[in-house]
Chain A
Amino acid sequence: DAKTTQPPSMDCAEGRAANLPCNHSTISGNEYVYWYRQIHSQGPQYIIHGLKNNETNEMASLIITEDRKSSTLILPHATLRDTAVYYCIVYGNKLVFGAGTILRVKS
């Protein structure tokens, strides 16, 4: 399974866009990029996934570079409730969770 690299933590002002980067330089052609988040004391929650094209849903947007070696999760208008650990995962044979990025949204 391809490995991912994420910054350990980020801060974002409430109401601004939060842009969370992820590097996955060893990704294979048929592997998807998934994003989950985990709010304190809860189980991880699915956010979005994609293969090649950019994706958007009601929670976030996912931008994948053309070479697919990196991606960015965008929360367009972060709120205090978006404070969580965000995991970028490349799916191979199984979902492998790394350490993720702690996003702190501050008022």
Chain B
Amino acid sequence: DVKVTQSSRYLVKRTGEKVFLECVQDMDHENMFWYRQDPGLGLRLIYFSYDVKMKEKGDIPEGYSVSREKKERFSLILESASTNQTSMYLCASTHRRAAGANVLTFGAGSRLTVL
């Protein structure tokens, strides 16, 4: 079964800490995405990557950075965590877009609490 694996389901961090959220996919997908999900706001795109070492800002990149050193791994980094970054973080991947072929496979999510 194809999978997108997020390293941590639940994390609790303190304000100002550096936080790494890891995502690994085993489907040889070119495209990878990081979303955050908050009640009433739906899923919002933070960053995405179309290839190794490539990254593009999504709708809410402020306070985040990403790293894509290997095709299968896409990391989300919170340089200095703040309480307003408490959220559910979802990683997803898909093959490079062909006509109609944008079926995202999501991980189970990482629920981050910043105290």
Contacts and interface: CB of A to CB of B under 8 A. Distances in A.
Interface in B32-70: 35, 40, 42-43, 45, 48, 58
What is the size category of the interface that chain B forms with chain A?
10 to 19
A43 interface: yes
Contacts, number: 42
Nearest to A48: B103
Contacts of A91: 102
B105 A46 contact: yes
Contacts of A95: 102, 104
Interface in A37-51: 41-46, 49, 51
Interface of B: 4, 35, 40, 42-43, 45, 48, 58, 90, 92, 100, 102-109
The 8 closest A-B pairs by CB, nearest first: A43-B106, A97-B43, A97-B42, A46-B103, A44-B106, A32-B100, A43-B109, A43-B90
